[in-house]
Chains A and B, each alone.
Chain A
């Protein structure tokens, strides 16, 4: 499962990095897929990895995965919405910049996850 976590971390980081240039230029379909996925699940996935919502350490942790996915999606959508809304009200509307903010947020959470002691895990039952 540690390997799976690593794969998810790498994929999330790659998504966040790729979204930065693609929010400015690139083929429309690719931009829609990458930026859309970042807005849907980027920051939230990084946050969930940081919080170690990992059910594998306990056979009793049968409920962690659905909640992890739900929080990953809801937090990502919430941050996308709040960043976009803040830019509108601040009259600083720039969608590519808002995507960059989400990417930086995602990479920041992933960096914190690397620094965090690995023994801190969610106890789940």
Chain B
């Protein structure tokens, strides 16, 4: 990285159609605020980060996964882990407080924080997190092997872009097993996010110190775990890059501000609310290069469209917000961002649309059900799980409250804030559309977070060129410590059911080696690390959803027998299914164990395999009279 100064030089070239006064409070760098940091300070901070990394990884290797309880990882992490975390946080704030920012040092410290916070899956478990990771591997495997899409299998095949990418990687390298990539995905995705986050934060904040602090807060507050091997994580990287590129190259008003009464009114009010246009990170390429970048932006929108259902629709309000705040001059791009996903839904994903049309329409406009209703379904389960759920809610509330305070501070200090506030709020406009399987609020928090953190840091960072005061540094460290601790609780709160072990994988492998192709495979509770192979070769069924459903029938041998009635079936029950049922209250306490014990002796039920990770039963079909 290039050496950065604590502020940007004043620049007199305004954006096209930009009627506002450039931000001009920051002082230009002088010999007084450049290069006064002794090298040994930088070396000591880099060494402290290295120690934090070693200590953090070592402490995670000391965790016994079998001891993980209902509160998740927080209950079993040794004190050394928190020492490592504290060291990484304090080191970053100390670097941020230096007179001269050292980007290489800050990058190194952020990488350490990423590994300490997101490295639990590869270090502790050595397997991918979430059963969805295994399914995603299976879809990629299916595509790599067949080279075809069957949109009737499930929704994923209607938005296959990300899986095509994985299938291409698998097919072109001969790597049949991408489990290692899935295991390290949380760390890898967060590393990929660093550059777009930094580029974005530069365009939304007044100086590099704000930008680095905002990126740091993003990593500390990003607890929702949408960084596993999934289309969401992939599209999020693309979305942030797109927005950063637009803000950097295509900033300014999309129309002459004097064209009409509305445009004059809009420009006047935007200027009155926030007359400060951040200059750092602005690029003014030649016309031909700008045209190439327009094509690049359009291709990124197209890639998001073919890869993920939700992200392109989240992009629309964000682009609209930037357009209306005079930060995006490409008028056609928001239009393209509407046309492409709608056209894809109508034509390429028509199979999905036909099968889910009623479901999509039923939740349209139901703001209560899509927001608080969906939230309520998640506020259930054991006491320990409830503690985790409330921590999550508190963390989201804290970030949004701090962002609101930051917006007020930005307004009063005449520091850039409006574009970040508008873009942070914009994704919430999706709430009336649908609940996205009850996950909409989680996803909206993710889309909102990169913009919200640019506001969160405002009260605790100064507009002054050099360093941070001791008071602000301590405040920033305190906020970082609270968010990081909250993230350890909330991100890994479901670790008991979201992580898997080798015994469970052995059970699943045994199931595939036993069951003939085309057989019905049943999971007792929807939380099995399967389908990473033979994705479309079996008829997969579920008895109980992981989330407790109102009015759902209790689990019984009869429900499994009915599925197996004609041709027989294989039933798999794993440790993680038991954990999920207990944590989320999918079934009454002990119900799944009773189900296993009573059904094992039922006529037609044969135990095929059992180990510490789970058990497989074969249920005979009509020949047994079930």
Most A CB contacts (10 A, CB to CB) among B8, B173, B293, B303 go to B173
Q: How far is B296's CA from A59's CA once the two chains are assembled, in angstroms?
A: 27
B92 CB-CB contact with A under 8 Å: no
- The answer to whether B300 touches A84 (Cβ under 8 A) is no
What separation, in Å, do the CA atoms of A49 and B75 have in the docked complex? 49
Contact between A36 and B173, CB atoms less than 8 A apart: yes
- Chain A CB within 8 A of B203 CB: yes
**A98 x B285 contact (CB < 8 A):** no
User: Are B172's CB and A96's CB within 8 A?
Assistant: yes
Given A66-B195, A81-B306, A88-B143, A125-B171 contact (CB < 8 Å): no
Is the C-beta of B432 less than 8 angstroms from some C-beta in chain A? no
Contact B281 A95 (CB under 8 A): no
- In the bound assembly, the distance between CA atoms of A56 and B100 in angstroms comes to 18
B547 at the interface (CB under 8 A from A): no
Taken together as a complex, chains A and B put the C-alpha atoms of A89 and B238 apart, in Å, by: 22
| Interface residue? A70 (CB, 8 A) | yes
B245 near A81 with CB under 8 A, answer: no
Q: A28-B174, A70-B245 are in contact. Are A39 and B283 (CB under 8 A)?
A: no
Given known pairs A88-B148, A124-B283, A125-B9, the reply for A63 and B172 (CB within 8 Å) is no
Contact partner of A31 (CB less than 8 A), chosen from B144, B167, B173, B244, is: B173
A105 within 8 A of B: no
For residue A73, which residue of chain B has the nearest CB? B192
| Interface residues of chain B: helix, strand, loop or mixed (majority) | helix
Chain B hits for A6, CB < 8 A: none
**Contact call A31/B174, Cβ cutoff below 8 A:** yes
Chain B contacts for A104, CB-based, 8 A: none
Interface: B237 (CB within 8 A): yes
For residue A80, CB closer than 8 A to chain B, the reply is yes
List chain B residues, Cβ under 8 A from A55.
2
Instruction: Count how many chain A residues have C-beta atoms less than 8 Å from C-beta atoms of the other chain.
Output: 54
A120 to B307, CA, bound (A): 35
Closest residue on chain B to residue A38 by CB atoms: B172
Judged by DSSP, the binding face of A is: helix
Query: Are A125 and B279 touching (Cβ within 8 A)?
Result: yes
Is the pair A122, B285 in contact by a Cβ cutoff of 8 Å?
yes
Stretch in contact with the other chain, from B156-164, B322-330, B389-397, B521-529: B156-164
Residues of A within 8 A of B234 (CB): 77
Q: Is A64 an interface residue (CB 8 A)?
A: yes
Instruction: Please measure, in the bound complex, the distance between the C-alpha atom of A78 and the C-alpha atom of B279, giving whole angstroms.
Output: 28
Task: Encode contact with B along A53-79: 1 for CB under 8 Å, 0 otherwise.
Answer: 101100111111111011101110111
B149 at the interface (CB under 8 A from A): yes
Contact pattern, B 121-165, Cβ under 8 Å of A = 1, otherwise 0: 000000000000000000000011001110000000000111011
**Known pairs A60-B9, A93-B148, A124-B284; A73 contacts B292 (CB<8 A):** no
Taking CB atoms, residues of chain B closer than 8 Å to A71 are 241, 245, 293, 296
The distance in angstroms between the C-alpha atoms of A67 and B250, with both chains bound, is 13
B136 nearest CB across to chain A (Å):
14
Would B165 and A95 count as touching, CB distance under 8 A?
no
Cβ–Cβ contact A88 & B147, under 8 A: yes
Separation of A89 and B164 alpha carbons in the complex (Å): 10
Smallest distance from the beta carbon of A81 to chain B beta carbons, Å?
Answer: 5
**Can you give 12 contacting A-B residue pairs, CB < 8 Å?**
A28-B174, A31-B174, A64-B281, A67-B245, A71-B241, A78-B296, A78-B303, A85-B161, A85-B164, A87-B147, A125-B8, A125-B9
Q: Which residues on B are within 8 Å of A, measured CB to CB?
A: 1-2, 4-5, 8-9, 11, 13, 143-144, 147-149, 160-162, 164-165, 167-175, 192, 194-196, 198-199, 202-203, 208, 234, 237-238, 240-242, 244-245, 248, 279-286, 289, 292-293, 296, 299-300, 302-303, 306-307
10 closest Cβ pairs, A-B complex: A63-B281, A93-B147, A95-B171, A95-B172, A74-B241, A84-B164, A69-B195, A70-B196, A78-B303, A67-B199
Question: Given A31-B173, A47-B296, A75-B299, 20 more contacts at CB 8 Å?
Answer: A28-B175, A31-B175, A51-B289, A60-B9, A62-B5, A62-B8, A63-B203, A64-B283, A73-B192, A75-B296, A82-B303, A87-B147, A88-B143, A88-B148, A98-B168, A99-B168, A120-B286, A122-B284, A124-B283, A125-B9
